[in-house]
């Protein structure tokens, strides 16, 4: 089952949808990959840890 979440676009910071594309094996073990598409049309595909920004403190 594929899930879609809203996240910040890594390029512009506007809302983007993030869809899990599963896990790919690497030398350090399995890594989750995401497909992102923001409201301005930016598109990304890659490891989740590289695409998702850390939450900012309020």
Q: What is the pLDDT of residue 2?
A: 59
State the chain's maximal CA–CA distance in angstroms.
Answer: 36
Over 90: is that where the pLDDT of 30 sits?
yes
Query: Computed from CA positions of residues 16, 20, 21, 23, in that sequence, does the dihedral angle turn out positive or negative?
Result: positive
Q: Radius of gyration of the chain from Cα atoms? A: 12
Q: What is the pLDDT of residue 1?
A: 45
**C-alpha–C-alpha distance, residues 5 and 38, integer Å:** 12
pLDDT, tens only, 5-26 = 899 999 998 999 999 988 988 8
Q: What is the pLDDT of residue 26?
A: 85
């Amino acid at each position: 089952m594929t899930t879609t979440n809203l996240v910040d676009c890594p390029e512009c910071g506007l809302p983007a949808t993030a869809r899990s594309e599963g896990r790919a094996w690497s030398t350090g073990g399995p890594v989750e990959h995401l497909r992102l598409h923001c409201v301005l049309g930016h598109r990304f595909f890659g490891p989740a840890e590289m695409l998702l920004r850390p939450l900012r403190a309020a």
